[in-house]
A and B are shown apart, each in its own frame.
Chain A
Amino acid sequence: MGDNQRRRLEEIIAREIWLAGVMIFIALLQVALPPQSINLIPNILLLLVVCQSLLQGSGNASRWAFYGGIGLDICSGTAFGVHAMALIIAVLTARLVLMRISRTSWITPLAGVPLGMIAYYSTMAGLISLLVAPIDLVRYSVIAVLPELLATIIPALPFFLAMRWFIERQRGAVAIDIY
């Protein structure tokens, strides 16, 4: 029994390290994407964690958000935990608001991603104002939030469907869409 528990613990740790590595790498990708070639860069990490939250639940997605957020904090030079907290809040918001809507509905990502993004940017704005300096909310919304919101909504549905297909495939189930 003891051996089994230890093995299970080792497996959990290994899985968490693997997940952290992958999420930090995605954060690196997001930071490294050259803005000069793609003027609108989708917030890949946010998209990923919100879709994960809508599909797998907030607990699972929060872990992703935490690791990815730490990765973003390292890359972008913000205080440790700022991006992580914003991503977790985004995960929670999207999940809590859309809890009653079936994840098989295509409305889910189209509503969930903007909700998550608004929560994310609100948290970021609050934390930056609190920790660094007050920011001009109107300019911040127009210059930073709105373009990224549009850039992230566009791939939201295909991204969500691809993730759902992948999860269903892992479970051996067949996805049925309800429209």
Chain B
Amino acid sequence: MDRSIKIGSSQRRSPVLVTILLIATILLIALDQAGMLGDLRVRSTSLLTPVLTLVHQASTKLSEVVQNTSNPSQLESELASLREENGRLKAENLRVTQLNLEVTRLRQQLRIETDHPWQLVGGDISAFGFDAGRRQVLLSIGSEQGVKAGMAVIARESSSPPALIGIVDEVGPRSASVLLITDFSSTVTGRIYRADSTVDGIVQGQWQRGSRIRLEDIPRDQQIEAGDVVVTAGLSAAFGADLPRAVIPPNIPIGIVEQVQTISQSQQAEIRPYVDSDRIRYAWVIINVGG
């Protein structure tokens, strides 16, 4: 019954096998000490390291679970501290996100101000179309930041140039309502630069008519075509007149001509605005035009 005292063939081979293995270990040690195993260690270690890492992670997690389950009060206090930390990290994360957004916007502003002679003040768009009949947005900046009625408001989307989206309509100390250029009551002088001439017209909003904006009152003999870029003409500013639109500088991009129609003695062009005012969340008011 007791097999340990029976000596089988495998047991008879044992001394030989043990001797061989001992000699093998001695040889291995000698070879390793002599540096004759080359990069065997490096290779074997790199082979086993991923497995070792996995096993270590698994065993660490397991031991943590065991430790936690064996001490529920510690687990509860740890949970409470983790919740507290989680809340703190969430708040911090929000703050970092806000700061990142602010940095991005300031960078954009700096780029615009570098490329154009405009001095800008940026603000969040805090409300959209609060008057159902008009296309308006409410900006979170006002007279305290130097905003005045009639000033041009620009914004930009991912690949678009900074483009006109509206004109400041009413100003409060810390807010300003902006009449979007797509509103029917919005009229701004627009200009198209051609190779040898300029074409001026009136940019009027068409939202209430089911469209976006249109360049109107273009003399029939002026040549315009789809793809032409429409910018502000800034005619009131050029005259230096004390008019509501006198602070809109020239050459603010508005959009691209999509379609041209001839009506009796004049022409009109449908314009695709560079910026979709429904999608923007931040805009700048041009408060000053430098040299």
Q: From A79, which residue of chain B is reached at the shortest CB distance?
A: B32
A55 — which chain B residues lie within 8 A by C-beta? 4
Residues 54 to 72 of chain A near chain B (Cβ within 8 Å): 55, 57-60, 62-63, 65-66, 69-71
A163 CB → nearest B CB, Å: 13
Residues 32 to 52 of chain B near chain A (Cβ within 8 Å): 32-33, 37, 40-41, 44-45, 48, 51-52
Known: A37-B67, A57-B10, A81-B25. A74 touches B56 (CB 8 A): no
Contact B18 A58 (CB under 8 A): yes
User: Residue B226 at the A interface, CB < 8 A?
Assistant: no
B60 CB → nearest A CB, Å: 5
B29 CB → nearest A CB, Å: 4
How many interface residues does A have (CB within 8 Å)? 42
Contact B32 A81 (CB under 8 A): yes
Interface hit among A1-9, A82-90, A133-141, A150-158: A82-90
Contact B32 A59 (CB under 8 A): no
User: Residue A129 at the B interface, CB < 8 A?
Assistant: no
Best-buried of B17, B27, B28, B44 by chain A (most CB within 10 Å): B28
B17 CB → nearest A CB, Å: 4
When the two chains form the complex, which single residue of A38, A59, A65 contacts B63, counting CB atoms closer than 8 Å? A38
Q: Main SS of chain A's interface residues?
A: helix
In the bound assembly, the distance between CA atoms of A171 and B60 in angstroms comes to 37
Contact B28 A62 (CB under 8 A): no
A37 — which chain B residues lie within 8 A by C-beta? 60, 63-64, 66-67
User: Residue B126 at the A interface, CB < 8 A?
Assistant: no
Q: Main SS of chain B's interface residues?
A: helix
A90 CB → nearest B CB, Å: 12
Q: From B47, which residue of chain A is reached at the shortest CB distance?
A: A74
Best-buried of B17, B21, B33, B66 by chain A (most CB within 10 Å): B21
When the two chains form the complex, which single residue of B13, B21, B37 contacts A88, counting CB atoms closer than 8 Å? B21
Contact B31 A80 (CB under 8 A): yes
Q: From A60, which residue of chain B is reached at the shortest CB distance?
A: B10
Known: A59-B11, A59-B17, A80-B37. A66 touches B25 (CB 8 A): yes
Interface residues of B (CB under 8 A from A): 1-5, 10-11, 13-15, 17-18, 21-22, 24-29, 31-33, 37, 40-41, 44-45, 48, 51-52, 55-56, 59-60, 63-64, 66-67
